[in-house]
């Protein structure tokens, strides 16, 4: 191993500027390491030219397209599922994107070291376009799920979207590069929310088709630009290993355990109260098998596979920053995916009937993400510190969830401001956590490290959504009883009660209008019972989660300044 690799392997938390280290030869990072004493040279600095920025634009466009597709599926999921005849299965719309992201992230990150990054970005981008095109033409729930699953394959390149900017730009620009990626992420969310609401207005239940037409075009454009602008340099492993050797290096058993365990775990939770009880084998059997496979994965990766997707080189030594980053980003995923699914639902229940205004309220969060990302990138570059800003970001998450958990009909105006807290926290966390993970990792493992970070975020979201949905369905069953009593007292025929309750819970206005015997006063009584029970039952508090608090504890106690420091 060269001296420069030794140098990179031992640099931990703080963002050291290699150019300054070359000039002084004695400046130390907060880890207490003297870079000059290591006697190494900094890693080669990339040459900046026009294609560099075009490649960065392509990466940002891929990220934009992915978040555009994700937030549209999450925020419109209830309406799409109801339109396609499966109102109780909306969880699978988001899960069909998140699960491929979790499973394929480590696979792509590791494979890119053997076959290069360019073709993964291009080919998976084409698959993203194909999946959105299929979803836009879906005439059945299964067809839409198939489209989203194919689109989810493109989310497997998420780790590369954080690796490539660091590859094509100098080391001192890594934090600003991550900020640029996060800004593209924010714009995708903002545009997606507003267009999704716009296409769904005035009872246009099939407005999602136009939405996914646009997503198709963006995925295709990103793939084309990436093909012409980005040329990934061949790695040593890419040139030195045969095809058989490359395939043997991949962690096939780990991938299988992760994929099967995660799908079964989510299936068991998705079927809870929808329509099966926990005592029913349809719920308990998949849940138990999935949990057992998850435990088997931990055992296998800990004691049997040292160089798999959880490469032990990432966790060796005294530096615990990478492991702590994984825990913190898992909590961030819990928070982000919960908000994506349930914030629009809560706003539509309590405050807004117009889908566009629901989207506008939510988009405030991602408008706030942009200045937060810029300021965080500047702070990290100048101060070369990330510990306390990471702690602060998770405290902001806690504040946001506390506000949303205590919201009611009287906090209509307040909920226009609460998303600012969410956006500020999102803008800080991924920049700091990805930067810490990359700078705490040996250069030869940076791709695997980025894959784990992003996959862990999606894993948190996938598990979180499954758990939230199980809790949500339990509470919704109580809401349904309350609505039924109210509309029957208002004069709705008994045979129409079930359909009205189902359409109210899923905001299917078209379906409500077509129910026999429905009158305006009956609808008003039903919605009044829905909001009253929603607030009294504390459903918002149960859905909102403690991921922010856990992430705060992880980041506060974990990021050490010196390698000899242990977690207090």
- In the chain, where the domains are located: 50-251+305-475+543-558
Residue 18: the pLDDT is 37
Token code pair at residue 436: 């810490």
Residue 131: the pLDDT is 95
d(C-alpha 403, C-alpha 406), whole Å: 5
Residue 114: the pLDDT is 83
Instruction: Please state which CATH number belongs to domain 50-251+305-475+543-558.
Output: 1.20.1250.20
Residue 81: the pLDDT is 85
Token code pair at residue 164: 């490539």
pLDDT tens digits for range 389-422: 888 888 999 899 888 888 877 888 888 999 999 9
d(C-alpha 408, C-alpha 429), whole Å: 28
Residue 537: the pLDDT is 54
Do residues 44 and 162 make contact, with C-beta atoms less than 8 angstroms apart? Answer: no
With tokens 């191993």, the residue in question is 1
Scored b (16 or more CB within 10 A) or e, 475-508 reads: bbeebbebbbebbbebebeeebbebbbbbbbbbb
Regions in the chain scoring below 70 on pLDDT? 1-47, 202-203, 273-275, 317-319, 475-480, 502, 505-511, 532-568
Residue 153: the pLDDT is 92
With tokens 């098998």, the residue in question is 289
Angle at the Cα of 522 from the Cα atoms of 518 and 528, rounded to 5 degrees: 140
Residue 439: the pLDDT is 75
Residue 219: the pLDDT is 96
- Tally of CB atoms within 10 A around 3: 11
Token code pair at residue 97: 């994107």
Residue 480: the pLDDT is 66
Do residues 464 and 547 make contact, with C-beta atoms less than 8 angstroms apart? Answer: yes
Token code pair at residue 404: 């949303």
Q: CA-CA distances (angstroms) from residue 325 to 13, 166, 293, 560?
A: 10, 18, 24, 12
Token code pair at residue 195: 């267009």
- Which residue, 126, 341, 333, is CA-closest to 224? 126
Q: What is the pTM of this model?
A: 0.73
């Amino acid at each position: 191993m060269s001296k420069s690799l030794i140098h990179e392997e031992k640099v931990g938390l703080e963002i050291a500027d290699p150019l300054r280290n070359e000039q002084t030869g004695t400046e130390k990072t907060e880890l207490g390491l003297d870079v000059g004493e290591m006697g190494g040279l900094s890693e080669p600095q990339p040459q900046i030219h026009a294609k560099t920025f075009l490649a960065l634009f392509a990466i940002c466009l891929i990220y934009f397209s992915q978040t555009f597709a994700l937030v549209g599926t999450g925020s419109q999921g209830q309406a799409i599922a109801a339109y396609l005849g499966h109102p109780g299965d909306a969880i699978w719309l988001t899960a069909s994107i998140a699960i491929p992201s979790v499973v394929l992230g480590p696979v792509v990150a590791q494979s890119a070291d053997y076959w290069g990054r360019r073709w993964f970005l291009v080919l998976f981008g084409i698959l993203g376009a194909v999946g959105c095109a299929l979803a836009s033409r879906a005439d059945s729930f299964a067809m839409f799920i198939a489209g989203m699953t194919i689109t989810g394959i493109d989310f497997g390149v998420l780790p590369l979207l954080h690796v490539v900017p660091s590859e094509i730009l100098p080391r001192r620009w890594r934090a600003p590069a991550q900020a640029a990626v996060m800004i593209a992420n924010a714009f995708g969310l903002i545009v997606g929310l507003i267009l999704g609401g716009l296409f769904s207005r005035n009872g246009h239940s099939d407005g999602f088709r136009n939405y996914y037409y646009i997503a198709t075009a963006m995925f295709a454009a990103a793939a084309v630009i990436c093909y012409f602008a980005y040329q990934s340099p061949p790695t040593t492993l890419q040139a030195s290993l045969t095809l058989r050797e490359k395939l043997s290096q991949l962690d096939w058993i780990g991938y299988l355990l992760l994929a099967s365990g995660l799908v079964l775990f989510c299936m068991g939770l998705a079927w809870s109260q929808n329509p099966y009880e926990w005592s029913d084998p349809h719920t308990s059997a998949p849940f138990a098998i999935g949990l057992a496979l998850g435990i088997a994965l931990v055992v296998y990766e800990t004691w049997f596979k040292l160089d798999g997707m959880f490469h032990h080189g990432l966790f060796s030594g005294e530096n615990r920053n990478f492991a702590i980053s994984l825990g913190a980003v898992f909590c961030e995923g819990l928070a982000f995916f919960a908000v994506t699914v349930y914030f629009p639902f809560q706003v539509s229940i309590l405050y807004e009937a117009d889908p566009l205004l629901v989207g506008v309220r939510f988009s405030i969060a991602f408008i706030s993400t942009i200045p937060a990302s810029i300021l965080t990138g500047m702070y990290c570059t100048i101060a070369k510190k990330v510990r306390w800003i990471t702690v602060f970001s998770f405290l902001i998450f806690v504040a946001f969830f506390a506000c949303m958990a205590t919201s009611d009909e009287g906090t209509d105006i307040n909920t226009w401001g609460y998303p600012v807290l969410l956006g500020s926290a999102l803008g800080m966390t991924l920049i700091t956590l990805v930067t810490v993970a990359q700078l705490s990792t040996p250069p030869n493992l940076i791709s695997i490290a980025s894959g784990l970070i992003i996959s862990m975020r999606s894993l948190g979201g996938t598990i979180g959504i499954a758990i939230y949905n199980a809790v949500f369905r339990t509470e919704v069953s109580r809401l349904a009883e309350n609505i039924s009593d109210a509309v029957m007292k208002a004069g709705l025929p008994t045979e129409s009660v079930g359909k009205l309750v189902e359409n109210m819970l899923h905001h299917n206005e078209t379906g409500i209008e077509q129910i026999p015997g429905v009158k305006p006063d009956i609808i008003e009584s039903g919605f009044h019972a829905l909001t009253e029970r929603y607030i009294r039952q504390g459903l918002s508090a149960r859905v909102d989660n403690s991921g922010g608090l856990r992430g705060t504890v992880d980041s506060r106690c974990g990021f050490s300044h010196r390698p000899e420091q242990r977690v207090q």
